[in-house]
Chains A and B, each alone.
Chain A
């Protein structure tokens, strides 16, 4: 069964090729079958492979499959080979499983669009690239997938390419992530020149042998890899592209910019954790970046008007939690939050998409309201998603994963108290912005009434994801509540256990949990106070001058866009404009010289064949003369 592994990325690739080559000739029904079928079959095979993997699991913790040699030059052999272990199996399951649900959802969501085949082709290509990324055995293949998902992200953000601003958003996403990708590539170069290998497993054991903890090389490589992860996962300071990336169709936002691609950075750091362990300062930087991003993004999420931008900022914020967890050494907690986040964030995006779809592409939450009655199923699933995101205690998955992260932030020797307090503030803000959305969109008076309700293809993924958004949390229960550690045991062969400071017993854990619960509930309560009443307190707050400035500042994402524009883009454009003329003149003179030379030479081309024969004879004479000399 494990041998079927290579089919998992191959099937979406086949789907992409079929749709790209023949999509124009297919009917919509056929396109949907090909697009969904390839991912669905891949998900099915993932289930088979996963079952087989788990059957032999503790005895055999990894499976290696080499398909062919990709590059073979002196000193460097890179194969197209897959590496399946607990970590990559988790990622593959999420990518194919949630990917399939989102494809199914898209069948109806995109049904009115002209680029139906193009959409599914891109989506299939994305899944291929993402699977290559997570299954790659070596860093070069991982980088191929890394760039592949970046390309698909670009193509899908700019899917409605007729709108110039969507194209600009696509370019922004591509260029900003490219900064991180370039750093990542440089990191790979250094790794290869230092260790003469690119295999993920080999590199890490070699690095652990060759470099002492905290050595310069290890720090530099870790920083460069972190830059790549930061770019892809939209963390500070490369976070500016994600809100604009919402220009793409909503299923794209759900799949790429919430559930899978943006968590590639988390995967990369978890995958290379032995390397990051050699650079404790960088690991601390990961935690700080995560903390800053989660707070900044949470504040921005509070004041957005566009429902998808709220979710985009919330995604950044939740990935901030994962980075924080990675930074304090709580590897499996980060991955657990990744799992729960994929479920509830995909659910939230799909539910938001169903709202947008029903309202005829209305995305402004101030023009929504009272949709609780009109779209009951959407309301309930959205509510479950929002509850999971804000961590409603005991019944939602988000509670368990976030609680684990906060407990690690409190108890880990790598953490600091202020990190924990920052993360606690984050849970309050999460509750606040999540329920602001609920109250704005589904409560209050009806401002826009929906024209139709979503169909079965859209509702089934919602219900399935809502089910998982509640239940995946029960895979790992804290010591105080049931003490179940299926998830951490599962990952224990790949990721090191979470360290705790001695003396952190269950009573402390219970206290931390109570703090987290209170904070989240406080956030939700505050949201109810602020946004639920008719003449809401929030409007009055926003009316004050301080409130207005703060709201505008937060809405623009803390002025990062303006700062980059002023510090980087404008000076650069200015420089190119100024130096452009000088450079142009240089190139123009080259052109003029070529042209005059051409005119001069073309005179020899008389069209008289005898002239040509004579020139050949003269040439032969000259050559003979040279030989004679």
Chain B
């Protein structure tokens, strides 16, 4: 029962993160929303691992953690560069690569 509710919480968090990602224009907030979504995914894994009493859920959490660390370090570097070059953090301003 607890794990089922944990999964419900996970999808709620994921949706909140998605809403944040899509509605915020500031690239920093988009990154925060991304973190929320990653956490929601971790929660789903942990809940699954707990349901079956297996370590695999936690291992997946470890990998997500690694991924998040790498992603954040690179993404924040990009944020810094964008703010130096464009003097703004508006994601919609960076649309030079449109087709």
Nearest CB on A from B63, distance (A): 20
Q: How far is the CA of A606 from the CA of B91 in the complex (A)?
A: 12
Instruction: Flag if A617 contacts B99 (CB, 8 Å).
Output: no
Q: How far is the CA of A111 from the CA of B15 in the complex (A)?
A: 80
The answer to whether B22 has its CB under 8 Å from any CB of chain A is yes
Instruction: Flag if B99 contacts A603 (CB, 8 Å).
Output: yes
Instruction: Flag if A605 contacts B99 (CB, 8 Å).
Output: yes
Q: How far is the CA of A614 from the CA of B98 in the complex (A)?
A: 16
Across the interface, A610 reaches (CB within 8 A) one of B92, B96, B97, namely B92
Instruction: Flag if A609 contacts B94 (CB, 8 Å).
Output: yes
From known contacts A614-B22, A617-B18, A617-B22, infer whether A609 and B91 are also in contact, taking CB-CB under 8 Å: yes
The answer to whether B95 has its CB under 8 Å from any CB of chain A is yes
The answer to whether A607 has its CB under 8 Å from any CB of chain B is yes
Instruction: Flag if A608 contacts B95 (CB, 8 Å).
Output: yes
Instruction: Flag if A610 contacts B94 (CB, 8 Å).
Output: no
Q: How far is the CA of A603 from the CA of B99 in the complex (A)?
A: 6
Give B54-99 interface residues, CB cut-off 8 Å to A.
91-92, 94-99
B25 proximity list for chain A (CB < 8 A): 610
Nearest B residue to A614 by beta-carbon distance?
B22
Q: How far is the CA of A602 from the CA of B98 in the complex (A)?
A: 8
Q: How far is the CA of A465 from the CA of B2 in the complex (A)?
A: 100
Instruction: Flag if B22 contacts A610 (CB, 8 Å).
Output: yes
Instruction: Flag if A610 contacts B30 (CB, 8 Å).
Output: yes
Interface string of A601-622 (1 = CB under 8 A from B): 1111111111001100100000
Nearest A residue to B25 by beta-carbon distance?
A610
Instruction: Flag if B30 contacts A607 (CB, 8 Å).
Output: no
Across the interface, A606 reaches (CB within 8 A) one of B18, B21, B30, B98, namely B98
Across the interface, B21 reaches (CB within 8 A) one of A603, A607, A608, A613, namely A613
Interface string of A586-607 (1 = CB under 8 A from B): 0000000000000001111111
Give B27-51 interface residues, CB cut-off 8 Å to A.
30
Q: How far is the CA of A609 from the CA of B97 in the complex (A)?
A: 10
Q: How far is the CA of A613 from the CA of B25 in the complex (A)?
A: 13
Nearest CB on A from B20, distance (A): 11
Instruction: Flag if B94 contacts A607 (CB, 8 Å).
Output: yes
A605 proximity list for chain B (CB < 8 A): 97-99
A602 proximity list for chain B (CB < 8 A): 99
B30 proximity list for chain A (CB < 8 A): 609-610
Nearest CB on B from A199, distance (A): 57
Nearest A residue to B18 by beta-carbon distance?
A617
- State how many residues of chain A have any CB contact under 8 Å with chain B: 13
A610 proximity list for chain B (CB < 8 A): 21-22, 25, 30, 91-92
From known contacts A609-B94, A610-B30, infer whether A604 and B99 are also in contact, taking CB-CB under 8 Å: yes
Q: How far is the CA of A603 from the CA of B98 in the complex (A)?
A: 8
Instruction: Flag if B96 contacts A607 (CB, 8 Å).
Output: yes
Considering residues A601, A602, A607, which has the most beta carbons from chain B within 10 angstroms of its beta carbon? A607
Q: How far is the CA of A613 from the CA of B34 in the complex (A)?
A: 11
Nearest B residue to A605 by beta-carbon distance?
B99
Across the interface, B22 reaches (CB within 8 A) one of A603, A604, A607, A613, namely A613
Q: How far is the CA of A61 from the CA of B11 in the complex (A)?
A: 83
Nearest CB on B from A591, distance (A): 19
Q: How far is the CA of A601 from the CA of B98 in the complex (A)?
A: 12
Q: How far is the CA of A231 from the CA of B6 in the complex (A)?
A: 81
Nearest B residue to A599 by beta-carbon distance?
B99
Considering residues B91, B95, B99, which has the most beta carbons from chain A within 10 angstroms of its beta carbon? B99
B97 proximity list for chain A (CB < 8 A): 605, 607
Nearest B residue to A609 by beta-carbon distance?
B91
Nearest CB on B from A256, distance (A): 55
From known contacts A613-B22, A617-B18, infer whether A608 and B92 are also in contact, taking CB-CB under 8 Å: yes
Q: How far is the CA of A48 from the CA of B30 in the complex (A)?
A: 80
Nearest CB on A from B13, distance (A): 15
Q: How far is the CA of A623 from the CA of B96 in the complex (A)?
A: 30
Nearest B residue to A601 by beta-carbon distance?
B99
B99 proximity list for chain A (CB < 8 A): 601-607
Q: How far is the CA of A607 from the CA of B22 in the complex (A)?
A: 14
Nearest CB on A from B68, distance (A): 17
Nearest B residue to A603 by beta-carbon distance?
B99
Instruction: Flag if B95 contacts A607 (CB, 8 Å).
Output: yes
Instruction: Flag if A608 contacts B91 (CB, 8 Å).
Output: yes
Nearest CB on B from A472, distance (A): 75
Q: How far is the CA of A408 from the CA of B12 in the complex (A)?
A: 100
A608 proximity list for chain B (CB < 8 A): 91-92, 95, 98
Nearest CB on B from A221, distance (A): 58
A614 proximity list for chain B (CB < 8 A): 22
Considering residues A602, A603, A610, A614, which has the most beta carbons from chain B within 10 angstroms of its beta carbon? A610
A609 proximity list for chain B (CB < 8 A): 30, 91, 94
A613 proximity list for chain B (CB < 8 A): 21-22
B94 proximity list for chain A (CB < 8 A): 607, 609
Q: How far is the CA of A602 from the CA of B18 in the complex (A)?
A: 25
Nearest CB on A from B97, distance (A): 5
Instruction: Flag if A607 contacts B98 (CB, 8 Å).
Output: yes
Nearest A residue to B27 by beta-carbon distance?
A609
Give A58-117 interface residues, CB cut-off 8 Å to B.
none
B91 proximity list for chain A (CB < 8 A): 608-610
B92 proximity list for chain A (CB < 8 A): 608, 610
Q: How far is the CA of A614 from the CA of B22 in the complex (A)?
A: 7
Q: How far is the CA of A614 from the CA of B21 in the complex (A)?
A: 9
B22 proximity list for chain A (CB < 8 A): 610, 613-614, 617
Give A262-302 interface residues, CB cut-off 8 Å to B.
none
Nearest CB on B from A617, distance (A): 6
Nearest CB on A from B28, distance (A): 13
Nearest CB on A from B35, distance (A): 14
Q: How far is the CA of A609 from the CA of B98 in the complex (A)?
A: 10
A607 proximity list for chain B (CB < 8 A): 94-99
Give A555-613 interface residues, CB cut-off 8 Å to B.
601-610, 613
Residues on B facing A (Cβ under 8 Å): 18, 21-22, 25, 30, 91-92, 94-99
Residues on A facing B (Cβ under 8 Å): 601-610, 613-614, 617
Could you list 7 further interchain pairs (A-B, Cβ under 8 angstroms) beyond the known A605-B98, A608-B98, A610-B25?
A: A602-B99, A604-B99, A606-B95, A606-B99, A609-B30, A610-B30, A613-B21
Closest 9 CB pairs of A and B: A607-B95, A607-B98, A605-B99, A602-B99, A607-B97, A606-B98, A608-B92, A609-B91, A614-B22
Chosen A-B contacts, 16 in total, with CB atoms closer than 8 Å, are A602-B99, A605-B99, A606-B95, A606-B98, A606-B99, A607-B94, A607-B96, A608-B91, A608-B95, A609-B30, A610-B21, A610-B25, A610-B30, A613-B22, A614-B22, A617-B22
